[in-house]
Chain A
Amino acid sequence: AQKVTQAQTEISVVEKEDVTLDCVYETRDTTYYLFWYKQPPSGELVFLIRRNSFDEQNEISGRYSWNFQKSTSSFNFTITASQVVDSAVYFCALSEAHTGNQFYFGTGTSLTVIP
């Protein structure tokens, strides 16, 4: 079974629009970690954020914000006022305490921001 589901395969938005990327995870561990990475066309995965299962506070970093809801097993990512440079594939990942440092990635959401 897929541990991380990113149901949105591709999203296109016009520059300056807000966009939310969904991530739903599945785990039986009570201690786990969630991550978001950005993969631009160059291919290198860029770390964006890390969250542990005991910290449900939402986080904002500039135009980026994350909404972690354990009740729905979701860790969604919102980009406000999107820019062309935000065009990339975004991956959500899960790490469970009992498997240590193995990351389980979703299939990614390809975001295209149209100027």
Chain B
Amino acid sequence: DTGVSQDPRHKITKRGQNVTFRCDPISEHNRLYWYRQTLGQGPEFLTYFQNEAQLEKSRLLSDRFSAERPKGSFSTLEIQRTEQGDSAMYLCASSLSSSGATDTQYFGPGTRLTVL
């Protein structure tokens, strides 16, 4: 059983450029989450999907951030017009929803973004 995978693992970009990250969840998992982790901090929730529906996006950091999960499998997180403050680790997690209870989320290795 393969875990959550993320691509790329590292991304260096110049300020103002757009970047897109991909996450492939554990195959039978229907929920997918995005988090941001800055140095010395815990992961910060951004958004999540159940199948292809984005159920929570109010925590996305700005309108430069957007996420999609078009077929309910992999997801992409896009950051437009990157700023130096966007430099962070972007983590993806997935879970299998269980009725009436919070799921256990399983995390991928993350994509480390550096904005120059």
* Contact pick for A43, options B35, B41, B104, B110, CB 8 Å: B110
User: How close is B69's CB to chain A, nearest CB, in angstroms?
Assistant: 14
Number of interface residues of A (CB under 8 A): 25
Contact B102 A100 (CB under 8 A): yes
Which range contains the number of B residues in contact with the other chain?
A: 20 to 34
Chain B residues contacting A107 (CB-CB under 8 Å) are: 40-42
Of the listed residues B91, B101, B112, the one surrounded by the most CB atoms of chain A closer than 10 A to its CB is: B101
* Contact pick for B45, options A46, A91, A104, A108, CB 8 Å: A104
Interface string of B23-54 (1 = CB under 8 A from A): 00000000101010000111111001000000
Contact B31 A101 (CB under 8 A): yes
Contact B40 A102 (CB under 8 A): no
Q: Given A33-B102, A97-B102, A101-B48: A42 and B109 within 8 A (CB)?
A: yes
Contact B41 A102 (CB under 8 A): no
A4→B11 CA distance, assembly (Å): 30
A-B contact pairs, 9 of them (CB 8 A): A43-B112, A45-B93, A46-B107, A47-B104, A95-B102, A100-B56, A101-B103, A106-B42, A108-B41
A interface residues (Cβ-Cβ under 8 A, vs B): 4, 33, 35, 37, 42-47, 50, 52, 91, 93, 95, 97, 100-108
